[in-house]
Structure 1
Amino acid sequence: MNVMFTELKEFVLPKWEELPLKRMYGEEICTFVNQLMAPLHNEKIHLTPTMIQNYLKWNLLPPIKGRKYEREHLAWCICITLYKRILPIKDVAKGITLQQNFMNVAEAYDCLAEFINQGFRTMFNSLANNDGQIVLPNLPANVQYVSLALSAQTFVFQCFLDYIVQSGGVEAGGLLTSTLAKVE
């Protein structure tokens, strides 16, 4: 099994409480987000200080106090970085605004992280059954969570599709081997 597959299998978004509480400069936010996203092996999933400045200008992020960002900014930067992979930035902004009508940033972040983590677990556990079929995740969600559930699943599917294409196909990517173990 290749390194890219192993790293993708180990990808987990941290919960809100696991995000650093300390205030960070923009470069530190970028380093954190980029290291978090590194197992996805996709140059389209990254963050730069210029992007953060643009997100502030476009009101995708709340205003900062001073020169350092808080946990809330970090969570939104993670979400925006993920969402940008599947939505145009103007739709990311609309989605964030709509989600804020239902819940605060900590709850929204935790829900998205859980949906993404569950989506990856379901896909990998389906592959571990080694019966030649992949069971697509079934994530029931009530109305206030539906956009998070749909975007999370779209992101997971996009990551798997990227992996299959980059590795040269399902067989070349190791998705049909019996060496897969279930993910807890």
Structure 2
Amino acid sequence: MREKEKYNREILDLIRSMQNIDFITPEDIPNIDLYMDQVTTFMDEHLVSSKRFDDDKILTKTMINNYTKNNLLPPPNKKKYSKEHMLLLIYIYYFKNFLAINDIKDILDPVSNLFFDGNGSKKMDDIYSDIVNLILENMDSQLRDIIRKSNKSNKLYSELSDEDEKKTLSKFAFICMLSFDVWVKKTIIENLVDDTLGKKKNTVSSNSSNTKAKKNK
């Protein structure tokens, strides 16, 4: 029982820690253009809480150069990066954890083309603020859903008497539930990207329809 309580406490502590994620606000970003070293230093200082391990790299010169080379990021102006550059780098940092580089480019291109360098009816920092506020507003409901999944996975094997077996299977079930959530959301994002580009989609619903059609033959 003590092991189970310890495990549950660890999960709850982990979930609560998600409420303390550091978000870079537009006000945090200097209103002056920055050189490469200043950009990497800024990101390291402001996104340190998102590291998994202490020696993880947030952003390196090589990464930034590759983003520019692959047209994810507009070229710097006289080796200096603007506030708009910084905001795009923040998006890239989070997207690259679960999306392919080509998908990130397809997501950011329309926004960059419309609003970079003060073009369009909205400023890039205003758009970023809107998105951060949406995320924060949705944070509590997301955390409640994670807690619900944790409780369900704990109950799934409550009949087992061996605590090691119970903990192992409960954690595995919890990971699978969270992984399915990630897969579903990633698939939706990829289909949204493909839809924007007019690509042919191989959706779950079409696969299901094809399977049913084959069964009926």
TM-score, with normalisation over the residues of structure 1? 0.57
Distance 1:87 1:112 in 2: 18
Provide, for residues 69-119 of structure 1, a one-character-per-residue CA deviation record: whole Å limited to 9, x for no partner.
121111111111011112101100000013344855223322332233334
Taking only aligned residues, the RMSD between alpha carbons, in angstroms, comes to 3.3
Q: Percent identity?
A: 23
Query: 1:59 maps to what in 2?
Result: 71
* 1:17 matches 2:13: no
Query: 1:70 maps to what in 2?
Result: 82
Distance 2:38 2:67 in 1: 16
Instruction: State how 1:77-156 maps to structure 2 within 5 Å.
Output: 77-100=89-112, 101=114, 104-124=123-143, 126=144, 133=148
For these two proteins, the number of residue pairs brought into alignment is 134
Letter in 2 for 1:42: R
Distance 2:140 2:77 in 1: 38
Which structure ranks higher in relative contact order (CA pairs < 8 Å, sequence separation ≥ 6)?
A: 1
Distance 1:6 1:25 in 2: 36
Letter in 2 for 1:13: F
Distance verdict in 2 for CA 1:75–1:42, change over 3 Å:
same
* More helix per residue: 2
Paired residues of 2:84 and 2:125 also in contact (CA < 8 A): yes
Paired residues of 1:13 and 1:116 also in contact (CA < 8 A): no
3-state SS, counterpart of residue 133 of structure 1:
helix
Distance 2:57 2:107 in 1: 18
Distance verdict in 2 for CA 1:99–1:22, change over 3 Å:
closer
Equivalent position to 1:27, from 22, 25, 37: 37
Distance verdict in 2 for CA 1:61–1:169, change over 3 Å:
same
